[in-house]
Amino acid sequence: MNYRDRGYADICVARTLISPFGNPTNDEGVNDIAAYHVQQAIEKEIKHILHDICGADDTARSFKTHNLSDLIGQVEEYGISIPEELIDLASDISDWEAATRYSGSVIANIEEIKEAIAIYERFTAFVKNQIEVDGGKEDAPSHAEKE
């Protein structure tokens, strides 16, 4: 299973958790777990760009982060622009990764989670329609070419 497939699985879990079926009592703790999975889905789509499109080494230490802003910065080093709406919320969504697991307070409300899911959907469409169609490993500059 690649990064994109794992990200899609995370977003499916998040959608289920925020649905009446997955969370019939609208429990805030369940919503926080949904927020975690949305963050993971976005992170994995960014890592899909880095690894599968740009050819980045996914064993490198710089790859082993959950910080979306840092990962976006790595993508931009390859000359690939990320949509502003994701850049604008990257820090907040990044916080969902650890805070949803360790914080005693509610991290994200249902509307924020739904908006983040919509951003994920637009982002994956952008990657498929813009980056994968226009670029790919062959066209993306390597780290050696950038230096």
25-72 pLDDT, tens digit per residue, is 988 889 999 999 999 999 999 999 999 999 999 888 888 899 999 999
66-113 pLDDT, tens digit per residue, is 999 999 999 999 999 999 999 999 999 998 987 777 766 767 889 999
Domains of the chain listed by start with CATH number: 3-146 (1.20.120.330)
114-128 pLDDT, tens digit per residue, is 999 999 999 999 999
The predicted structure's pLDDT at residue 133: 74
The predicted structure's pLDDT at residue 147: 36
- pTM tops 0.85, yes or no: yes
Half-sphere exposure of 70 (CA within 13 A, CB side): 9
Per-position DSSP letters for 14-54, written without gaps between them: HHHHHSTTT-TT--HHHHHHHHHHHHHHHHHHHHHIIIIIT
Listed residue (49, 51, 32, 48) closest to 108, CA to CA: 32
In the chain, the largest separation of any two C-alpha atoms, in whole Å, equals 54
Q: Is the pLDDT at 141 greater than 50, yes or no? A: no
